[in-house]
Structure 1
C-alpha cells in the first residue's frame, strides 16, 4: 500500500495557495492509487526549534534518557518515523521573505540526524531515505521560483537530496501578486499532469 505524508506549513489556513495545491496533489495521487494511506502533519502552529536539550535527548540511548529527554525525543522521533514510513512526501512550501517558513526549517532540523537520515562516508555524505518521491507545492506573492531571490526551493531540494530523496518535483504558483487567477490555474494544470 502506498503511504503519502502531507506536510502543511502555511499560516494562512484555508486562504493558503500552497494548501489548495496540496489538496489537489493528494487528490490526484489517491485517485490514481485507491487505498493509499495519507498521513497529515500540519506544522502551521509551529515546531519546537532544536537546541542543546534536543541534542542531548536524541543522541542519548533510549534506555538512558531522563523523562524530559523522553518527551523531547518522542516528538522528534514521531516526525522522523512519519518520513521513514512514507513513499511519497507532499510538502507545502509557501515562500516567506524569500525563504522557507520557520516551521518547515525546524521540521528539517528535526530530521537532520546522523545515522537516521544521513551518514558520512569516505566519499562524503550519503542520504539514507532513498526510494522516496517528494512533490513540493511552492507558492509566493512575488518571488519567482529559481530566481536569484528564491532561497526556498533550492534549499529544500538540497536538504531532501542530502537525506537521499532525489526524486523531487515542484509545482509552482509563484508571483501570485501579478495575476493570481491565471497563476493558480496554471499550477493546477501542472498538478493534473503529474505522473501518479
Structure 2
C-alpha cells in the first residue's frame, strides 16, 4: 500500500484547479493521504536557521524543517500541486523546498558530486497555468521542480498538466482529469 503526501501550495482554496486535481490524484493513489498546505506559510531560511543547521544544534529553529523531511521520508508518493505564478512556482512552495533540501538529510556530497537520499519514491506534479504551456520555453516551474526533486533523490516524476487554462479550460481540464484517471487505474492494477 502506498502512503501519499499531498503538498498544496495554491493561494486559492475553493476555486483552485491544482488543489482539486491534486486531491483527486492523491486520493486515487491510495490511503493514507497526508496533506501539507504550504500556502499558509512556512518559515524562510534565515541566518539563525543556517547557523543551527551548520552547527547541528537543531532546536526550535530547525523543528519545521525536520518535520517536513520526516514527512517526505515516511511517504512513497508525493503529489505536489503547482499553480504557476509569473512563470514559476509560488514563494510558499519555494520555502518548502528550502526547508527540505538539506545536506546530510535529503542529499549528501560525495567525491562524484551530490547524491540524493530520498530514493524509491515517485512524485507527481499537478501543474496549472493560465497561459504557459508545460514544457514550453516559458515554463520555468517544471524543469526547476524536476531538478530539485532529482537532487534529493526523487527521479521518478510524472507531470499532470492543466496548462494554458486561459485558452480552453474545459478541454484542458478534461485532459488533466483523464490523465489522473489513467494514473490511478495503473496504480490500482
Sort the TM-score into its range (normalised by shorter chain).
over 0.9
SS for the counterpart of 2:167 is coil
Match of 2:32 in 1: 37
SS for the counterpart of 1:96 is coil
SS for the counterpart of 1:2 is coil
Q: Aligned pairs, how many?
A: 185
Match of 1:33 in 2: none
SS for the counterpart of 2:165 is coil
Match of 1:8 in 2: 8
- CA–CA distance in 2 between the matches of 1:102 and 1:61? 26
Which of the numbers 37, 44, 51 marks the counterpart of 1:56?
A: 51
Residues 65-144 of structure 1 mapped to structure 2, 5 A cutoff:
70-144=59-133
Query: Is 1:19 matched with 2:19?
Result: yes
Q: RMSD in angstroms over aligned alpha carbons? A: 1.1
User: Which runs of 5 or more residues in structure 1 are unaligned?
Assistant: 31-35
Deviation at 1:61, TM superposition (A): 3.3
Deviation at 1:9, TM superposition (A): 0.1
Deviation at 1:104, TM superposition (A): 0.6
TM (normalized to structure 1)? Answer: 0.91
TM (normalized to structure 2)? Answer: 0.94
| Runs of 4+ with >6 A deviation | none
> Could you give the per-residue CA deviations for residues 34-81 of structure 1, whole angstroms, max 9, x where no partner exists?
xx221110011222110111112233334xx6xxxx221111111111
